[in-house]
Structure 1
Amino acid sequence: MDAVARASAPIDALRPRRLRRRKPLRFRNGLPGGRLFDVFADRPLGGRLRAARRLTLLALWTLLCLPIQAVLILLPGSAKIGFARLYHAVLSRLIGLRVQVIGAPCRDGPVLFVSNHSSWLDIPVLGGVLPAAFVAKSEVGTWPVIRTIAHLGRTVFVSRSRGTTAREAQAMRDRMAAGGSLILFPEGTSNDGTRELPFRTSFFAIAEGARRIQPVSVVYDRLGGLPACRRDRPHFAWYGDMDIASHFWRLARRSGARVTVVLHEPFPPGRLPNRKALASETQRIVREGAERLRQNRPVVPIAPPAAPGAAGP
């Protein structure tokens, strides 16, 4: 009878008895310590604890520094500038960013630092590297907490409305006439971090008040210790309808993040004939440096444009 059954179902005759299991095989984790030490598994709890720790330290550091800067800003001297750089540098580390700087900031002030702009992260990054105040849109002055930090950082707010443009431009010229340097984002807004938007020539109306212009390229080029690709840009770039809270939380959960700041060679604004040429040449330098960083290629500060009638810079 058994032979007849096997003949009626030939495939059963070829199937070994040991594979006819009622329950599937289950393998235990071979790594010691179970799931907690499984390096190949997701660890959402670890990321949340890291983000919560960073947020707590950031809040404590800010609460400690605000009254100190409030006093320093009332006193003469450059202590308020140095302390603002210290605050932003530590802030970048607390967020989880390692800042790599190529080149050196120009000391022949006042300097107009011109940079690409992809995120609110540019503020603590550049604030910790450059001895200068930011030029920001007026909306920033209405955001809770951030507006207080911006005011203590001596930020110059611009509304870009026709009725106030002349007055705001004069305020920036007065700041530079007093010896203060400024950080300008001539794109006018942030973007997805994969390219640079056209530099607006209107932002260079104050260029004649600076002794030097220094182009700056900023690229967030590492995440998890590996080169950042297009897929990783939303962890750094802040654009569209993103809100700061969720954007910060998503980045703070990650480790191994790095940003590279390239400080190109400065040049006098009078070297170029007009604002249009100044915006075009500055954007070329910033773009070339940023593209090299995105391609994970070595980069050095780019030389300034040649003076009219000269053979070289």
Structure 2
Amino acid sequence: MDRMRARLKTGGLLCWAAAGIVGQGSCLLMPGKMYRRFPLFFWNVACRILNLQVHTIGERAGSLKPRPDGRRVIYVANHSSWLDVLVLGKVLPAFFIAKQEVRHWPLIGYLTYLGRTIFINRNRQEAGQDVQEVIEQLRKGYDIAFFPEGTTSKGSGLLPFMSSLFAIAKPVQRRDDPAAKDHPACIIQPVSVAYDRLEGLPVGRHRRSFVFSWFGDMDFGPHLMGLGRWRSMRATVMFHPPIKPEDYPSRKALSNAARATIEKGNEDLRQNRLRDDATSPDHTRP
């Protein structure tokens, strides 16, 4: 039964990914915001196929509608698995930043491309150009989400943050650069993600690392099949109070503040310090 369940879920997810390419491609041709709403729907169904329930704590700072203060929202979150994309994609109406390698993944690469994911290089010589591309999306009024760790971890703690990515919120001000003066005002919202229930039971350190987390040289296919054998899973997403980049003297200070907040929230979730009735399931308000 476990093998049958895993095969059905894996096949269903791959078929839905193929259907999502057609759906998102069609939405790009439609007027309005359908191309921004469809990813929320797509990742919602993907979570349902895996029977992955998503609970949230706190209030999301942004939506499909502009904020009253005119600021763009940049969501930063910890990263332990490819599942983070499903979980956050379900609740965040934002464009994601991903490493260039994701662009070449079968099905998922093309799907994320249609979803307006911004692919960046790890090469420092090209980092400046990538940052400018992200800032351009902010100027157009879109919110952004990214994983400052730059790669996945075992889920038992956070890796160091790449402070250079925070240049999209706090660019270097140069007097001879007119674009710097046109930088859109932003806020940073730290987000903690933890996988805390497996078939209704609390998740311990071992299962968090070797059931949910996807790191190192793990192959995608076996990891997906391993997840598919479980009947139910749960992820909890904690939205922390937003912080203003101008309150910090440097990108490093801003990065450290966001990391400390996310780490504390992640630790609370891992230790089950928060009551279940403090969470609200399926927070998908656009």
Measured against the shorter chain, the TM-score band is 0.7 to 0.9
Alpha-carbon offset, residue 76 of structure 1: 4.2
Match of 2:195 in 1: 220
Alpha-carbon offset, residue 212 of structure 1: 1.5
- Misfit runs of 4+, over 3 Å: none
Q: Judging changes above 3 Å, is the alpha-carbon distance between structure 1 residues 193 and 210 closer, same or farther for their aligned structure 2 residues?
A: farther
Is the 8 Å Cα contact of residues 190 and 239 (structure 2) preserved in structure 1?
A: yes
Output the TM-score relative to the length of structure 2: 0.85
Q: Deviations over 1:128-156 (max 9, x none)?
A: 00000110000111112121111011110
Match of 1:283 in 2: 259
Match of 1:243 in 2: 219
Match of 2:173 in 1: none
Residues 1:116 and 2:78 are matched in the alignment: yes
Number of residue pairs matched? Answer: 256
Alpha-carbon offset, residue 168 of structure 1: 0.7
The 2-side partners of 1:163 and 1:198 are apart by 21
User: Equivalent residues in 2 for 1:172-191 (5 A)?
Assistant: 172-191=134-153
Is the 8 Å Cα contact of residues 40 and 90 (structure 2) preserved in structure 1?
A: yes
The amino acid that maps onto 2:14 is A
Match of 1:42 in 2: none
Match of 2:2 in 1: 47
Residues 1:197 and 2:128 are matched in the alignment: no
Q: Which of 127-136 and 266-275 deviates more?
A: 266-275
The 2-side partners of 1:65 and 1:143 are apart by 15
The amino acid that maps onto 1:236 is F
Gaps of 5+ in 2: 171-183, 280-286
The amino acid that maps onto 1:213 is I
Whose radius of gyration is greater, 1 or 2? 1
Q: Which of 181-190 and 66-75 deviates more?
A: 66-75
Output the TM-score relative to the length of structure 1: 0.78
Match of 1:165 in 2: 127
Residues 1:134 and 2:96 are matched in the alignment: yes
Is the 8 Å Cα contact of residues 78 and 149 (structure 2) preserved in structure 1?
A: yes
The amino acid that maps onto 1:136 is A
User: Equivalent residues in 2 for 1:229-268 (5 A)?
Assistant: 229-233=204-208, 234-268=210-244
The 1-side partners of 2:216 and 2:11 are apart by 27
Query: Which structure has more RCO (C-alpha within 8 Å, separation ≥ 6)?
Result: 2
Gaps of 5+ in 1: 1-45, 302-313
Alpha-carbon offset, residue 73 of structure 1: 2.0
Is the 8 Å Cα contact of residues 18 and 107 (structure 2) preserved in structure 1?
A: no
The 2-side partners of 1:269 and 1:92 are apart by 33
